[in-house]
A and B are shown apart, each in its own frame.
Chain A
Amino acid sequence: MATIAERLHEEWTTPHTLYGTLATVDHKTIGKRYLVTAFVFLLLGGLEAALMRAQLARPNQHLLTPEMYDQLFTMHGTTMIFWYAAPILSGFSNYLWPLMLGSRDMAFPRLNAVSYWIFLFSGIFLYTSLFMGQMPDRGWFAYAPLTELQYSPALNMDFYSLGLIFLSISTTVGAINFIATALTLRAPGMSINRLPVMIWSTLTISTAVLFAMPSLSVALAFLFFDRHLGMHFFQAAQGGSPLLWQHLFWIFGHPWVYIVVLPGMGMISMIIPTFCRRPLAGYTYVVLATVLTGILGFGVWVHHMFATGLPILALSFFSAVSLTIVIPSGVSVFAWLATLWGSRPLLRTPMLFALGFIALFVIGGISGVMTAAVPFDWQLNDTYFIVAHIHYVLIGINVFPVLGAFYYWLPKMTGRMLSERLGKWNFWVMFIGFNVAFFPMHIAGLLGMPRRVYTYPSGMGWDTTNLISSLGAYLFAVGVLLFIVNYFWSRRHGETAGDNPWDAASLEWSVSSPPPEYNFAVIPTVRSRDPLWEDRLGTPARSSIYSGPVLEAGRETTSTRPLDADDVRVLNMPEDSLWPLIVALALLVIFYGLLLGGWWVALAGAIVLFIAISGWLWPTDVTAEKEATS
């Protein structure tokens, strides 16, 4: 027995050297790096918000100049929506997917590594704008023609357009990795009706990424070309159209908001059943709702443009679809409530975050319904009501599930439980702080306060709500800090977690905490949706978790057919490699070259890129005979 573990350890371990650090393709390491880096961006975005709320706490303040404020609100939105909200979910998915699927790695381990490096480098690229005093300052939505060179002459919006194109490479290859993994790298027997809900949600959004991201890339390319190559995509005088930017941006942007929340919902769909001690009610409905939301998300983008003067027919159509997309969300909410009802829930910290999430989800969804009613949106759009809505959905459906997921899965990652006491304080301070900060913004909007303003006059009736919001925001920040305290406390003093501290059902809880590098000593065969609960549920067919193929001739895992997970084959997985890092560095050089007008530098970077990709794809001795993976 020990010898199998030792042999697998030999194959899969990464040395603790500089080379190992730079070349590792271990999905667990990459997942943890994503989590830490995304969390740092969360804190940066939070700092930006804290400064903004200080400025807005009272009317007519001058703590920040309008230029500073414009940079802060732009960077807050951009950082949070792009460099925090999706990557943090990638972090969880990256870490957990192979463990949930009964696999030893993701389908493309090196692509996984490059997606992390690009995420990191693109964030560094973006934030070098801070040191040049030219942070993007035209809003995270960057409407044309305000972003054209004529109205934005410095580098601010070039950091924005190039930084986002850079990041989008990471997002896209990450999505490709998830799709290929979900289709081919599942444990034998894990047919699609047995997939954990989190797999479904990340698979759905990965597909959405493939179709949504290019719209943003096209928009950003057009913007860069207008600004630096004299083109005229968004300039009305030469036949271009400012509204084209809005269409392209929101055709991407609306699916994006579902991309940053659906995996959070997927994680909640795994947490609630554990603490209700029963499988998710309506699994099939939840899966269909998830996929339907992903699809419908592409049909609503014009609801961000209701006030632009479009024909009434178009407005009516998009209003209808925007109302329709509420229904799959309603199905999910009631699936969670159905799981809850009649069970006797255990209120540990992950469950508190799950329950808080449901409450905030419903409020955010309802305020969204209010904006889907076109004529009322003509009053609500571009006011603080929308700021309230977006934070209820983004913090409610991303941050709260993320915190719940940390409390739930950090024990698996570190082997230590977090403090329940601190956890409860963490939850309540965040929940109360959040509502105190953002609920009054609904009222400010209904009192006529527009958004994206660096200050406001007194006597408008907006003073009180703004002060309350600022105080709530600081309370919320304290809550986030409590989480950081709890994390560090748990590394030192947390009780040992063991394999399955929550007595949960899915495969990741069948291995040690933290898992071995090779995840599973034997590849499990799965026969139901809740493998670790089969004995108690009395399911007729039983999964074989501790008995199965070992696959120790190199780094190997199994590949099966996409629908039924039968016809088990062996796949050879790549070793650690420096090519991903080199590719990411070459891209960094290209983007800095484009930013600073160094076309030759960019070209040199492109040549290095080509060499690195060729080297990457070139078979090594081990894989020369095995053409099945790349």
Chain B
Amino acid sequence: MSATARPMAEPMAEPTSVVQMPGWWGMICLIATEASLFAYLLFSYFYIGAQAAQWPPTTPPELRLALPNTIILLVSSATLIWAESGMKKGQRTRYVIGTAITIMLGIIFLCIQLLEYHGKNFGPSSHAYGSLFFTITGFHFAHVTVGLLMLAQVEVRAMLGHFSASKHLAVRNTSMYWHFVDIVWLCVFFALYITPRLWWHP
């Protein structure tokens, strides 16, 4: 087959806009499918709740630990945004510090969540509500854990100097994932902790 190579004046550049980077779309797609997962979990929660005589069957879950925990997670997103904007300016140290704080806040979130589980007077096998409560928050717990593992890896790579102001897709993707996990928590928190209070009467 005859093929004429067109001579290039200079080497072709790599993509600078994320919409031309497959890795970015990959993370968007992952977030889309995981978001659907939580949508279906919450659908199940409301579907079963709509058929129950009383929902939740006991009192609504306490805010005592969950509300501060929510704030902790929100702050962790803020620190990550601060970190990432440092990376965009090439400030590696800022990124490393910000990410470290984010990771610590994430670990605190998980610990408080475990504390909350420990204090519950029902379990996943008590009734359908228990199954839903622990499964939904448990799936979120798993996603936070994965997010922390991703943050840890990207932190190590940042410290090793893999990233620059113009090239740091892994940083961007990890941040997107972490913010996604945060937003999911807001939805879960609203559904499980707030909506029962909107119409529950003691």
A and B touch in the complex (CB under 8 A): yes
Where the two chains meet, the residues of A that have a C-beta atom closer than 8 Å to any C-beta of B are: 1, 4, 107-108, 111, 172, 175-176, 179-181, 183-185, 210-211, 213-215, 217-218, 221-222, 225-226, 229-233, 235, 238-241, 244, 247-248, 251, 499, 511-512, 521-522, 546-551, 553, 558-562, 567-572, 610, 614, 617-619, 624-630
Are the CB atoms of A231 and B167 closer together than 8 Å?
no
The chain B residue sitting closest to A230, CB to CB, is B125
- CA gap between A570 and B12 in the complex, in Å: 6
B14 contacts A549, C-beta separation under 8 Å: no
In contact, B129 and A231 (Cβ under 8 angstroms)? no
User: Which residues of B line the A interface, CB within 8 A?
Assistant: 1-6, 8, 11-17, 19-23, 25-26, 29-30, 32-34, 36-37, 39-41, 43-44, 47-48, 51-52, 57, 124-125, 127-132, 135, 149, 153, 157, 162-163, 167-170, 173
Across the interface, which residues of A come within 8 angstroms of B2, CB to CB?
1, 546
A560 to B19, CA, bound (A): 9
B44 engages A233 (CB within 8 Å): yes
**What's the Cα separation between A358 and B11 when bound, in Å?**
49
Q: In the bound complex, how far is the Cα of B39 from the Cα of A329, in angstroms?
A: 29
**CB-CB nearest in chain B for A545:** B3
A sample of 6 cross-chain residue pairs with beta-carbon separation below 8 angstroms, ordered by A number, consists of A210-B32, A211-B32, A230-B125, A239-B48, A569-B13, A570-B14
* B135: A residues at CB distance < 8 A: 221-222, 225, 231, 233
Q: Do B3 and A1 touch (CB < 8 A)?
A: yes
Cα separation A241 to B46 with both chains bound (whole Å): 12
Contact present for B22 and A108 (CB under 8 Å): yes
Which of A107, A179, A231, A610 is the most central at the interface, judged by chain B CB atoms within 10 Å of its CB? A231
CB B152 to nearest CB in A, in angstroms, measures 9
Measured in the bound complex, the distance between the Cα atoms of B158 and A619 in whole Å is 12
Output the nearest chain A residue to B2 by Cβ-Cβ distance.
A546
Give the top 3 A-B pairs by smallest Cβ distance, nearest first.
Answer: A230-B125, A239-B128, A107-B22
Cβ-defined contact, A630 with B26, below 8 A = yes
Are the C-beta atoms of A569 and B124 separated by less than 8 Å?
A: no
CB pair A231–B125 under 8 Å, yes or no, is yes
Asked if A180 and B25 make an inter-chain contact with CB atoms under 8 angstroms apart, the answer reads yes
Give which listed residue, B21, B29, B124, contacts A175 with CB less than 8 A.
B29
Q: Smallest Cβ distance from B128 to chain A, in angstroms?
A: 4
Most buried by A among B5, B15, B22, B135: B22
Partner of A630, one of B15, B129, B169: B169
B6 contacts A184, C-beta separation under 8 Å: no
User: Smallest CB-CB separation from A522: which chain B residue?
Assistant: B3
- Pick the residue among B20, B26, B40, B124 that contacts A567 (CB under 8 A): B20
Measured CA separation A51–B24 after assembly (Å) = 48
Interchain CA distance A551-B8 in the complex, whole Å: 10
A6 to B16, CA, bound (A): 31
With a 10 A CB-CB cut-off, give which of B3, B132, B163, B173 has the most chain A CB atoms. Answer: B3
What residues on A are CB-neighbors of B11 within 8 Å? Answer: 553, 570
Q: Which of A235, A248, A569 has the most CB of B within 10 A?
A: A569
In the bound assembly, the distance between CA atoms of A547 and B2 in angstroms comes to 9
**B14 interface neighbour in A231, A571, A617, Cβ under 8 Å:** A571
Residues of A within 8 A of B153 (CB): 614, 617
Please state if B3 and A546 are interface contacts (CB–CB under 8 Å). Answer: yes
Selected from B12, B129, B157, B162, the residue in CB contact (under 8 A) with A569 is B12
Which residues in B have their C-beta under 8 angstroms from that of A239?
A: 48, 52, 57, 127-129
B130 CB contacts on chain A under 8 angstroms: 231-232
Cβ contact within 8 Å between B167 and A628 = yes
A550 to B48, CA, bound (A): 59
Q: How far is the CA of A247 from the CA of B135 in the complex (A)?
A: 18
Q: Which residues of chain B have C-beta atoms less than 8 A from A629's C-beta?
A: 21-23
Q: By the criterion CB–CB under 8 Å, are B22 and A571 in contact?
A: yes
Check A547–B40 contact: CB distance below 8 A. Answer: no
Residues of A within 8 A of B39 (CB): 214
Which residue of chain A has the shortest Cβ distance to B32 in the bound complex? A210
Contacts of A248 in B (CB 8 A): 40, 44
The answer to whether A210 and B125 have CB atoms under 8 Å apart is no
Known contacts A210-B32, A232-B127, A614-B153, A549 near B6 by CB under 8 Å: yes
Q: How far is the CB of A164 from chain B (nearest CB, A)?
A: 15
Contact of A181 among B12, B22, B37 (CB under 8 A): B22
Q: How far is the CA of A629 from the CA of B25 in the complex (A)?
A: 10
CB neighbours (8 Å) of A562 from chain B are 19-20
Contact B167 A626, beta carbon cutoff 8 Å: yes
- A210-B29, A233-B131, A630-B23 known; A222 and B44 CB under 8 Å? yes
Query: In the complex, A175 Cα to B36 Cα: how many Å?
Result: 15
A559, B18: Cα distance in complex, Å: 11
- Is A627 a contact partner of B25 (Cβ separation < 8 A)? no
Name A614's closest neighbour in chain B (CB-CB): B153
Residues on A with C-beta less than 8 A from B37 are 214, 217-218
Complex alpha-carbon distance, A323 and B55, angstroms: 36
| Bound-complex Cα distance A562 to B157 (A) | 30
Closest CB in chain A relative to B34 CB, distance in Å: 7
CB distance from A398 to the nearest CB of B (A): 24
CA separation between A512 and B2, bound complex, in Å? 11
Q: Looking across the interface, which residue of chain A has its beta carbon closest to that of B23?
A: A630
Is A240 touching B1 in the complex (CB atoms < 8 A)? Answer: no
* B22 & A180 in contact (Cβ 8 Å cutoff): yes
B128 near A232 with CB under 8 A, answer yes
Residues in B whose Cβ lies below 8 Å from that of A4 = 3, 5
Q: Which residue of A lies closest to B149 (CB)?
A: A610
A551 and B12 contacting across the interface, CB-CB below 8 Å: yes
User: Would A231 and B20 count as touching, CB distance under 8 A?
Assistant: no
A183/B19 contact (C-beta < 8 A), A214-B37, A241-B47 known: yes
Q: How far is the CB of B95 from chain A (nearest CB, A)?
A: 14
